[in-house]
């Protein structure tokens, strides 16, 4: 039965009879069936449900929603972001179904467009009621007036790693422990949920043994959290069967784990592998969910995800020439022409202008996070830190030489702070991959920048491009240009270079 805890002690809930009556009537659809498969993370379903889901989503039987591993991850999204209920869908507008470009060989070359299965964006679940690390006393102070059903969720103070559902009832606040069991969340050891959002949704529909039904949430002020349901990728058509993907050698390291070369549908792909089943899985899925809604020629394309019992894989298009910074350094002035440089600048700006139009902030724009395709086109990658506009950062490592002063000092990230980073990226392009601020110690960079210091133009940098850099490095964010405007300028410069070459 549900328990609420006081100083670590558990007490039987007064609403147990109501719960038992409900269970006698029908079993809730969130309850784990008794015939659980040998793998603890896989939940069985009936053959009839499997057939219905296969018909509805055209998903192979071994990848229906109910068979996707429920990874033991934190149900909260702990990336430092300020996502509000109102703006969480502003950049998640549905786009047309993508076309996967494939060829019959693993070698790059002429490609043919094969229609992908119908796909939809995967949306994040906002959790405005999640208040994070607050004490029991703070929760009770916030929950006023004590209307029956007013609630919030916080991290448990008595049981680190668990959560507490705080609900107002008859002028008091009841505190229910939400604990992990079999890698899922439960209050009563009978109803199990894969994340907090599903748990709250359930008790909003039915008290189901709690002191009262959840009727009104108390939103957290400022930065809010969200979660992602792995099954949403199945329903949206983004799951790739394990046998369809051939894994090959490691080609790099990513935020979540190794990046492998793979082959999918006869074409080389890049595969990000999540090594551990931990809180990182939610960040991994958040990156994937964002990529389902952002489709542009100058953004690295998501092809799908693979779920198995041990790992999750994020499959993206393969960029054969690697990162832009490595490309510039390895080829240098002898092989990278002025036309190449302006093309790299324009392509990157075009991708960022698209993100700007969708109110998405990249937050880690640099030549290392731009990839070069076989045809020499540049595409922005690494959406692990990307999120909605105007959020703050509460800590963690920042790339100081690429980050705008207001982001470093005041934790204010926006498309304008991305523009500052783009100015640094332009300097990287025209210096053939040199590290910015080459003669200034890292500890002194911020002080120099705040005093108005701007790097000199690299040798051979066109005056028009250096002018863009200086505009991007304005200490007042509002005075920096937009990516849309810079895209126009770079487009004109690119056209001029094309005429000269021809």
Residue ranges at the known binding site: 272, 368-369, 382
Cβ pair 245, 304 in contact under 8 A? no
Of 208, 225, 340, 364, the active-site residue reads 364
Residue 364 a catalytic site member: yes
List % helix, strand, coil for the chain (3-state, nearest 5).
35, 20, 45
Can you read off the two tokens belonging to residue 409? Answer: 């000092």
Q: Strand locations in 284-432, DSSP E?
A: 302-307, 312-317, 360-361, 370-372, 378-380, 387-388
Helix (H) or strand (E) holding 431: none
- Residues ≥6 apart with Cβ < 8 Å to 101: 111, 112, 113, 114, 267, 317
Annotated binding site for ATP: 272, 368
Task: Cite the annotated binding site for Mg(2+) by residue number.
Answer: 369, 382
Q: Which of 450, 367, 355, 441 is nearest to 409 (CA)?
A: 450
Please tell me what DSSP assigns to residue 417.
H
Decide if 77 contacts 124 (C-beta within 8 A).
yes
Q: How far apart are CA 29 and CA 26, in angstroms?
A: 9
Other beta carbons less than 10 A from residue 332's beta carbon: 10
CB atoms within 10 A of CB 294: 22
End-to-end CA distance of the chain: 78
- Take residue 209 and report the two structure tokens written for it: 């043994």
Distance, CA of 298 to CA of 356 (rounded, Å): 13
Supply the residues annotated as catalytic. Answer: 364
């Amino acid at each position: 039965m549900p328990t609420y805890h006081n100083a670590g002690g558990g007490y039987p809930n007064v609403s147990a009879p109501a719960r038992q009556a409900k269970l006698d009537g029908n079993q809730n659809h969130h309850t784990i069936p008794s015939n659980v498969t040998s793998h603890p993370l896989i939940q069985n379903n009936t053959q009839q449900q499997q057939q219905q889901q296969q018909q509805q989503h055209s998903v192979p039987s071994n990848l229906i929603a109910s068979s996707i591993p429920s990874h033991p991850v934190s149900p909260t999204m702990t990336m430092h972001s300020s996502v509000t209920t109102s703006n969480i869908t502003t950049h998640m507008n549905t786009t047309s179904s993508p076309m996967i470009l494939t060829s019959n060989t693993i070698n790059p070359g002429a490609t043919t467009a094969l229609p992908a299965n119908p796909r939809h964006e995967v949306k994040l679940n906002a959790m405005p009621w999640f208040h994070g690390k607050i004490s029991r006393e703070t929760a009770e102070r916030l929950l006023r007036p004590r209307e029956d059903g007013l609630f919030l969720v916080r991290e448990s103070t008595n049981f680190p790693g668990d959560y507490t559902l705080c609900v107002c009832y008859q002028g008091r606040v009841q505190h229910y422990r939400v604990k992990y069991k079999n890698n899922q969340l439960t209050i009563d050891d009978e109803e199990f949920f894969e994340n907090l959002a599903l748990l709250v949704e359930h008790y909003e529909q039915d008290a189901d043994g709690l002191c009262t039904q959840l009727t009104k949430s108390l939103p957290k002020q400022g930065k809010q959290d969200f979660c992602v349901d792995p099954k949403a990728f199945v329903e949206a058509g983004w799951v790739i069967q394990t046998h369809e993907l051939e894994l090959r050698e490691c080609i790099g390291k990513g935020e979540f784990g190794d990046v492998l070369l793979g082959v999918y549908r006869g074409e080389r792909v890049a595969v990000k592998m999540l090594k551990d089943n931990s809180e990182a899985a939610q960040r991994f899925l958040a990156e994937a969910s964002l990529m389902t809604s952002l489709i542009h020629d100058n953004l690295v394309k998501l092809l799908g995800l693979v779920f198995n019992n041990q790992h999750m894989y994020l499959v993206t298009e393969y960029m054969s020439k690697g990162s832009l910074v490595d490309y510039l350094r390895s080829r240098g002035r002898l092989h990278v022409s002025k036309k190449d440089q302006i093309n790299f600048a324009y392509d990157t700006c075009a991708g960022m202008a698209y993100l700007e139009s969708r109110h998405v902030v990249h937050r880690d724009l640099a030549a290392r996070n731009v990839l070069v395709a076989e045809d020499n086109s540049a595409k922005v990658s690494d959406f692990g830190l990307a999120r909605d506009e105007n959020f703050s950062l509460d800590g963690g490592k920042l790339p100081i030489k690429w980050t705008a002063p207001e982001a470093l000092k005041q934790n204010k990230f926006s498309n304008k702070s991305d523009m500052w980073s783009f100015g640094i990226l332009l300097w990287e392009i025209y210096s053939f991959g040199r590290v910015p601020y080459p003669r200034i110690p890292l500890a002194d960079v911020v002080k120099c920048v705040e005093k108005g210091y701007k790097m000199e133009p690299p040798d051979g940098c066109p005056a028009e491009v250096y002018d863009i850099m200086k505009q991007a490095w304005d200490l007042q964010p509002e005075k920096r240009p937009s990516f849309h405007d810079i895209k126009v300028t770079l487009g004109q410069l690119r056209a001029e270079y094309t005429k000269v070459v021809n």
